[in-house]
Amino acid sequence: MKKTKLPDAWKKTTVELETALRNDRKEYLHAKKNHAVSWRKEFLTVQVKKSKKKQWTSRKARDRFLRLRRMKQREEARRRRRAQSKGSTGGLQAIQVEETLPTGQVDLRTLTDRRQVEQGCMQENRARYDQTRSPYTTPPMDEPLYSMFTGADAERNSHALLEGRLPMPEGIDSYTKSFLEQCRFQQGHSMIPMEVSPADHTYFWSRNPENKGLEPHGLHNGHFKAGIYSPMVAQCDALFRHIPLTTGFVPDNWRHLMNFAIAKKPGDFWLKKMRTIQLMNSESQANYKKLGRLAMAYGEEHHLLADGQCGSRKHHQAIDLALSKRLVWDLLILQRRSAGWISNDAKWCFDQVVHWVVVLAMMRLAITWNALRMMFDTLATSTHRVRTGFGDSKESFHPPSMVPFQGCGQGNGAGPPIWVSVSSVIIQMMTAMGFGFECLTAIDSQLITAQCFCFVDDTDVIEAGKSVEQSGEDICHSVQQAASTWAGGISATGGAINPEKSFWWLIDFVWESREGKWRFRRTHQLLPDHPLQIPGLTGELEALRRLEPDETEKTLGVMLAPLEDQHAHVVHLKSIAKKWAEQVRLGHLHKYDVIPLIKTTVMISREYPMVLTTLDAATWVSIMSPILQVCLPKAGICRNFPRDMVLAPLKFQGLGIPHPFGTQVSKHLEVLLRHLSNRTKTGAYMEAAVQEHQLETGTSFGLFQQD
């Protein structure tokens, strides 16, 4: 009665109460329409002023408040991770290995004993790091190349090759020869001076997190972070890093590597399908990261990194590479150009790259010989152990022969820059041999080129016809040559292509006179059939599976195909939403955890493919439906609460969950503004596509110049 301001409500008749209720509703609706926004702003302004006026009685009270707030944030984060089944796994405690049955069939056997798990991991890692030599020898491990670049004259031969003075030895294959011919110093080059000053050391450890994994033989990261507050200790630590970097000397405590395996897919413990991470000494890792940063900065400044390689580079994103692929497909469609598009995956690129090949590629980016010798002498002479859920192994393993293990190791701070430097040479080799796609923009006649689209080890190779007169049958031979050249370039580094994860499209067009339209040619319309073959993991030729133009594949986290299929995006996004909702449904969450969980996890993953989607608002609401049906009740809200209110901003009395359709529009605008203003490679493809559309429509003005 106090709230209704009717102290004698029990004396009122039903008619009087209904009248009062109607009047109150009218007042509420009038206030909501005219004053709700302003009242909300006034309330928030008062709250902000109160928070600013809050004075701490002492520094101790302030520190206590901050500690409690951090504890609360950590507990909330742990609770949200557990709700998504992302809690700590406790390490690897079971593995699956191949076992041949008496019938001759090969089956997977699960091992859970500590010794068996450790021995299985050691055996798999020993074979993985030695696969450049066994079961068959890759080109860079064969003679005379291996002796030339690893023997006593290795430094002299490396400089001679990079300066163009070393004659190519006889007996090497053509692809390895082409790769080495592209390993050249830039004209007027100078090597980067290597130095670790106390200021460099202090800056690195002030930014490096303390809880990073490391090999336990050396000092913990916390020791170095604490040491930067003492000028004398910081100077000593910097000197201990400086000496190996400039002389190539390797301290004994750096010669230890800890290997631990992680599953690529949850619940899949087959060792051959797992990823092995190497933990290294803190000081050596700091030097490796420094080398990687210097190499990438030099390569970007002197334009030595291939435009097609977008992985591990600043201001490059995976979704931008996916957008570039979509735009080049659009250019092919608008120009009716035939092309072969090969999507391939390099098998264990970080674990198979040969050391002397990396030395050449990194010296091309002005890294000194002694600095590289420090890194690869450490990797070549280290003792390997394994870490599982049972702890660190007491036994260790070494190479099965006098030839050291190859590979830079996943977990190496210089690993991503190393692969960028190596793959840039391969892409340059493809360009020099004339493979790729070229066209002039329709209006201003600017040259547009594309050879490869790489994101780390996932690569798309394109070979297009030189003119519209060339059909799919006419370019099949050159497409095969492009695929063989790329595979040969990968083998020249010690690696190989994984045919299981590789596929290709043959893009061609046919005029349908009955419908008056151009259409993609199907597989059965290309006679005879042209299989595409590349050397597999064993060196034998294997045929890649060929997809129809409308068959989508998940690449770079999105569903792509030459013939755009928005329905494939919808199916993929709905499957992810249902899987996420099922995980959260079984988890325990507080009411105030739910909305922040949606906004910081699943909504962020929904934003990733929006650059390539053109879905309407109703479709986005249907994609969000499984998530909201599970999460709203956990937040104490009716699961059928109006979606206009659920996806409305807080200032309009909504729940503050951003509407996916509005986010999609903003993503489109952001991509247009960012690429066109920064003149990126993706921006060049955008301009070319816009001009082709303008030519196709026959308008005298640009597509973005009309209302």
pLDDT digits (tens, 9 = 90+) for 627-650: 999 999 999 999 999 999 999 998
pLDDT for res 71: 86
pLDDT over 90 at 337, yes or no: yes
pLDDT (mean) for 679-687: 92
What is residue 661's predicted lDDT score, i.e. its pLDDT? 94
CA–CA dist 671, 607 (Å, integer)? 13
pLDDT at 53: 55
Per-residue pLDDT tens digits for 198-207:
999 999 999 9
Determine the pLDDT at residue 156.
Answer: 94
3-state secondary structure 10-69: HHCCHHHHHHHHHHHHHHHHHHHHHCHHHHHHHHHHHHHHHHHHCCCCCHHHHHHHHHHH
Q: For residue 40, which of 32, 52, 51 has the smallest C-alpha distance?
A: 32
Task: Please compute the mean of the pLDDT values over residues 274-284 and round it to a whole number.
Answer: 92
Band of residue 653 on the pLDDT scale cut at 50, 70, 90 = confident
- Mean pLDDT, range 524-532, rounded to an integer: 77
Instruction: Determine the Cα–Cα distance for residues 686 and 680; give it in Å rounded to an integer.
Output: 10
Sequence ranges of the domains in the chain: 198-558, 566-697
Tell me what the mean pLDDT of segment 350-363 comes to.
92
The single residue listed with the structure tokens 């699961």 is 639
- Give the Cα-Cα-Cα angle 370, 373, 377 (nearest 5 degrees): 150
pLDDT at 55: 65
* pLDDT for the residue numbered 523: 84
Average pLDDT over residues 93-107: 83
Q: Say if residue 321's pLDDT is above 90.
A: yes
- Average pLDDT, stretch 525-542? 79
Tokens of 642: 């109006």
CA dist 633 and 585 (Å) reads: 10
How big is the CA angle at 303 (ends 299 and 304), to the nearest 5 degrees?
Answer: 55
Average pLDDT over residues 399-404: 88
Question: Which pLDDT score is estimated for 244?
Answer: 94
pLDDT tens digits for 437-479? 999 998 989 999 998 999 988 899 999 999 888 988 889 999 9
**Helical H runs in 340-414?**
349-352, 355-363, 369-381
Above 60 in pLDDT, residue 1?
no
The string of pLDDT tens digits covering residues 40-77 is 788 878 777 766 555 667 788 888 888 888 888 888 88
Predicted pLDDT of residue 44: 77
The residues pairing with 530 across neighbouring beta strands, listed in sequence order, are none
Specify the range with the lowest mean pLDDT, choosing from 235-239, 241-245, 535-539. Answer: 535-539
b/e map 216-240, b = 16+ CB within 10 Å: eebeebeebbebbeeeeebbebbee
Quote the pLDDT of residue 5: 67
Supply the mean pLDDT for the chain. 89
Q: How far is CA 166 from CA 149, 152, 261, 364, in A?
A: 12, 16, 41, 15
Per-residue pLDDT for 7 more than 80? no
In tens, the pLDDT along 574-620 reads 999 999 999 888 888 888 889 999 998 899 888 999 999 999 999 99
189 pLDDT tier (thresholds 50, 70, 90):
confident
The pLDDT value given to residue 88: 62
Q: What is the distance of C-alpha 516 from the center of its chain? A: 42
